[in-house]
Structure 1
Amino acid sequence: MNDHRRLGRELGLFDTDPLMGAGLPYWLPDGAAVRYALEEYVRDTERRAGYRHVYSPVLGKKELYEISGHWSHYGDDMFPPMELGSEQMLLRPSLCPHHALIYRSRPHSYRELPFRMAELGAMYRSELSGVLGGLTRVRAIQLNDAHIFCTPDQVAEEASAALGSIRDAYDAMGIEAARYRLSLPGPGGKYVADPELWRRSAALLREVLDESGVEYEAVEGEAAFYGPKIDVQITDPAGRESTLSTVQVDFHQPERFDLRYIGADGGKHRPVMVHRSVIGSLERAVAHLIEVYAGAFPAWLAPAQVVVLPVSEAESDRALQLVRRCRDRGLRAELATPDQGGLGARVRAARLVPYQAVIGPREAAADQVALRLRDGRRLEPRPADEVLHRIARQIESRGIGLLDENDRADRVQQQVRQAD
């Protein structure tokens, strides 16, 4: 079974140390490369979708979370206050109160709405030691979070677009949703006491789900304290289910923070706040990808995208030059030299790397590369610039496959040949 906790350590992606503390994993270089690729994807797609990125502090006064409702409804999951002189400061459990303040800091017209604000930001949860594990349950979380401030008649369209972004992201990562859940309040929970708020929010999310065509299940007791949400569920190899992505409609915090915009009538109006996380926490997203791919990530996510293998020491200088050319193109490339073993052994050691660029005497003399693919296919020697262009093009497309259709038509052999 592909357990990300074991694989993550074996593959050198992340680890933990007792001196850092439970639930606080650190990222090793290869894991950081996967995480950074996801961060780039998120920022790029959000920018294209009209989001503006911000940075906000991980600390806030206790008063901030009293206003937002987190302290009264979510305080058991927060770290205790830190006394700084006469002030009590808290590690934030969520980014939304900070984004509400950022929105409130400037006047807004209806012409500006929807105003889409995004951040890859840290938040902290006081999880009990018994539930911590690997990257899936941690105390320091890096969240792909966004908040859309919009007019009431824009809510359904914005929530629907957020759901579409989630589905696009899953296609790019090559993962599937186990199910979609409409998470509603349940008896006994700490929920905001406003029946009309819950009715309006739930009706909007049902509309979005119905129009999207996805099958979903309404589940009581899984809502956020301030409103219902769409949860996109994933399962691990053991069949355990967890939430990766969410879309939420929030009438509560705009009221609590007295958020306004100037309408077409010149009057002040209350915006609606749509919370949206496309890939959820980077920790949980990477944990799921590790278990889905067992380290053989899609090329755009792979820690090393190209490994360059000189056949003998005579080709080492040319191989090093190729590594530098790869890096100049933005590719993550490594060099596997002959002193690390024979060519076959080095190919096997690089079995998880999508592209293996072999340089023998003939290739070195002609500035060519004999490309091997992770799935065992080989291409005839080609000019190095052409090979790097094709690899870069495939990676930039963020496709799941190793070659585009033109490359497939150029295969020299359809059958898999054994490495030398």
Structure 2
Amino acid sequence: MHDHRRLGRELDLFDTDPLMGAGLPYWLPDGAVVRHTLEEYVREAERAAGYRHVYSPVLGKRELYEISGHWDHYCDDMFPPMELGSEQVVMRPSLCPHHALIYRSRSHSYRELPLRLAELGGMYRSELSGVLGGLTRVRAIQLNDAHIFCTLDQAVGEARAALELIGRAHADLGIRAARYRLSLPGEGGKYVADPELWRRATALLRQVLAEAGVDHEEAEGEAAFYGPKIDVQIADPAGRESTLSTVQIDFHQPERFDLHYIGADGARHRPVMVHRSIIGSVERAVAHLIEEHGGAFPAWLAPVQLVVLPVADAQFADAEALCREAVARGLRAEVAGPERGSLGARIRAARLVPYQAVIGGREAESGEAAVRLRDGRRPGSLPVGDLLDRVAAGVAARGTVLWD
């Protein structure tokens, strides 16, 4: 059983310090590589799916969250406001109010819709110290978030496309969903009091799930305060569930922010706001990937993708040359020379690296390298150029297959 808190520290991916505070981990160089690669993957997947990226501030005036409804329904999970002259500013608990303002800042025609805005942005939640742990529950969150502003007729198709995008990303990352959940409101004042809003949004999400052919369960008391959502649940090695990816249909915030577009009839119409997150928070996604793969990340995500192992000092120059060529091709590679111990010890130390290239006297003379894979296979010796072609192709495929 893999615990990301222990393994993440053993692999020098992340750590914490009391002076930074609980729930505020920092990323070490190898962990930063994983995070950056994951973020770039998400941005590229979103770009290819028609999203446009924005940046928005991590602070907002208290009035912003009063309009969005966060202040009435979510303030217990927000950090206290800070006095700034005659105003109060708040560290944002979510990105959706900012994206609503970005949409509102320009006029829109029905011809522009759907408008898909995405951001990998920071948000902050005042989690109690007793529930904090590793990367799964933190106070500073980097969220993969997006909001689609569309017509009512487009809402189901956009939500279904978001669900399909989530499925493709999970396949590339080697993530297995524990189950799909339709999260509905419960009793009490936590939720917006608008039965018609809930009925309409829930009916649309049920249609999305039906058209996608996704088996799911329904759970009361798990909705966002402003609307129902589809939650993609994951489970840790102990069987504890958490939510990773989400799709939501929201009628509440377009109303609160008075969002509109000009229809074909020349009149003003209210857009629907579809919220979606492919991988949820980067922190929780990396925590799950550490546990799912035991630190043996898919090759495209691994901190080091290729390690070059000269058998003796005489092959060190050849190993360095191979490493330089690999880096020039965009691979993350390093040399593990004899100064790090015996060849067997170095191979064991690099057990989580997807590809190992061993260069002995015979390989150096022939311009080849003996290939070893993380899964124990040994494809044999290959010319250096052919080896790098195969490794680069495996990484570029962005899947979980090392060698086919």
What is the TM-score when the length of structure 1 is the normalising length?
0.95
User: What's the counterpart of residue 340 of structure 1?
Assistant: 340
- Counterpart of 1:218 in 2: which secondary structure? strand
* AA at the equivalent of 2:321: Q
Alpha-carbon distance in structure 2 between the residues aligned to 1:187 and 1:380 = 64
* AA at the equivalent of 2:313: E
User: What's the counterpart of residue 99 of structure 2?
Assistant: 99
- Counterpart of 2:118 in 1: which secondary structure? strand
Moved more, 110-119 or 323-332: 323-332
- Counterpart of 2:357 in 1: which secondary structure? strand
- CA contact 1:189–1:221 (8 Å) conserved in 2: no
User: What's the counterpart of residue 133 of structure 1?
Assistant: 133
User: What's the counterpart of residue 37 of structure 2?
Assistant: 37
CA apart distance, 1:237: 0.7
Alpha-carbon distance in structure 2 between the residues aligned to 1:263 and 1:385 = 57
- Counterpart of 2:380 in 1: which secondary structure? coil
User: What's the counterpart of residue 379 of structure 2?
Assistant: 379
CA apart distance, 1:367: 2.5
Alpha-carbon distance in structure 2 between the residues aligned to 1:64 and 1:321 = 56
User: What's the counterpart of residue 279 of structure 2?
Assistant: 279
What is the TM-score when the length of structure 2 is the normalising length?
0.99
Moved more, 377-386 or 294-303: 377-386
- Counterpart of 1:20 in 2: which secondary structure? coil
- CA contact 1:162–1:247 (8 Å) conserved in 2: yes
- Counterpart of 1:395 in 2: which secondary structure? helix
Alpha-carbon distance in structure 2 between the residues aligned to 1:192 and 1:76 = 16
User: What's the counterpart of residue 85 of structure 2?
Assistant: 85
- Counterpart of 1:381 in 2: which secondary structure? strand
User: What's the counterpart of residue 353 of structure 1?
Assistant: 353
Alpha-carbon distance in structure 2 between the residues aligned to 1:22 and 1:217 = 34
- CA contact 1:117–1:147 (8 Å) conserved in 2: yes
* Residue 195 (structure 2) pairs with residue 195 (structure 1): yes
- Counterpart of 1:188 in 2: which secondary structure? coil
User: What's the counterpart of residue 412 of structure 1?
Assistant: none
- CA contact 1:143–1:282 (8 Å) conserved in 2: yes
CA apart distance, 1:263: 0.6
User: What's the counterpart of residue 248 of structure 2?
Assistant: 248
Alpha-carbon distance in structure 2 between the residues aligned to 1:224 and 1:295 = 33
* AA at the equivalent of 2:152: P
TM-align CA RMSD: 0.9
CA apart distance, 1:362: 2.5
Q: Deviations over 1:366-414 (max 9, x none)?
A: 332211111111123222121111111111111101113xxxxxxxxxx
**Equivalent residues in 2 for 1:180-191, closer than 5 Å:** 180-191=180-191
- CA contact 1:92–1:124 (8 Å) conserved in 2: yes
- Counterpart of 1:2 in 2: which secondary structure? coil
Alpha-carbon distance in structure 1 between the residues aligned to 2:77 and 2:115 = 30
* AA at the equivalent of 1:93: P
* AA at the equivalent of 1:345: A
- CA contact 1:50–1:116 (8 Å) conserved in 2: yes
Q: Deviations over 1:303-337 (max 9, x none)?
A: 11100111111111121121111111111111101
* AA at the equivalent of 1:362: R
CA apart distance, 1:364: 2.1
Q: Deviations over 1:150-179 (max 9, x none)?
A: 000000000000111111111111121111
**Equivalent residues in 2 for 1:87-236, closer than 5 Å:** 87-236=87-236
Q: Deviations over 1:63-119 (max 9, x none)?
A: 111111111110000000111111111100000000011111111111110000000
Residue ranges of structure 1 left out of the alignment (5+ in a row): 405-420
CA apart distance, 1:189: 4.1
- CA contact 1:305–1:333 (8 Å) conserved in 2: yes
User: What's the counterpart of residue 327 of structure 1?
Assistant: 327
CA apart distance, 1:253: 0.6
Residue ranges of structure 2 left out of the alignment (5+ in a row): none
- CA contact 1:179–1:233 (8 Å) conserved in 2: yes
Q: Deviations over 1:215-274 (max 9, x none)?
A: 111111011010000011011111111000100000111111111111111111110000
